[in-house]
Every structure is written in C-alpha cells, then in structure tokens.
C-alpha cells in the first residue's frame, strides 16, 4: 500500500453517528456495528473495541441509557437515546453540512 494508506473515517464521527442511529430506534451494540457496516456498504466496519467505549462514554455523559432485556437463558443490552442526547443532536444538520463541505473540499485535491 505504501504511503497511500489513509484512514477515511474522521476521529469524532462515531459518537454522533451512534446517537443519530438511536434517534431512529433503540439498538444493541452488535446491531449498531452491523448498521454502520451496512449503511457504508462495508467501507466502515467498526469493532467492539471502538463501539463499546463510545457507547459507555455516551451513557456516562447522559446521552443514552441501557436496558437489559431477557430472552430465555440469554439477555442483551439495548441502548436508547435520552432527552439530553436528542437535544445534542439539534446541531447535527450543521455538523453534517460542515463535514460534507470539508470532504468535498478535500476531494478537489485529487
């Protein structure tokens, strides 16, 4: 690959993306990972090592909550966005526009 190995996923994008997805519906961690992969046609496949620390910090800061759901012998943790999380997403359209504009400007270099 040489000098052309580039990480195209900007740092700081995961947390707002998780909140945006939870605005649609509650999800468990694996579902969040799968959705990101599906929505990016496999371009971005974040693993548990990045998803769960982001989820844990969002929960600790009050942007989402967790509920444990039992399914027979098994249980899973489902995450939902809180009112604080919804309020924080009010500026998401501005963030999205600025991010897309920045990517567009960068792409002109090639």
φ, ψ dihedrals at 7, nearest 5°: -85, 110
Encoded tokens for 21: 């997805």
Tokens 């960068």 correspond to 106
Tens-binned pLDDT, residue by residue, of the chain (110 aa): 555 555 566 667 899 999 999 999 999 999 999 999 999 898 888 899 999 999 999 999 999 999 998 888 888 999 999 999 999 888 777 777 887 888 788 778 77
Tokens 């509650």 correspond to 26
From CA 110, how far away is CA 106, in angstroms rounded? Answer: 8
Provide the pLDDT for residue 4: 55
Tokens 């693993």 correspond to 47
Domains within the chain, CATH numbers bracketed: 12-103 (1.10.10.10)
Question: Which of helix, strand or coil describes residue 44?
Answer: coil
CB 37 within 8 A of CB 48: no
């Amino acid at each position: 690959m040489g000098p052309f190995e580039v990480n195209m996923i900007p740092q700081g994008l995961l947390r707002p993306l998780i909140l945006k997805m939870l605005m649609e519906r509650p999800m468990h961690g694996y579902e969040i990972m799968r959705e990101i992969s599906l929505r990016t046609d496999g371009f971005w496949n974040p693993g548990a090592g990045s998803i769960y620390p982001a989820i844990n910090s969002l929960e600790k800061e009050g942007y989402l909550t967790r509920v444990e759901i039992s399914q027979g012998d098994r249980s899973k943790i489902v995450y939902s966005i809180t009112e604080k999380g919804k309020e924080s997403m009010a500026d998401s359209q501005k963030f999205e526009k600025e991010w897309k504009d920045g990517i567009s400007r960068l792409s002109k270099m090639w």
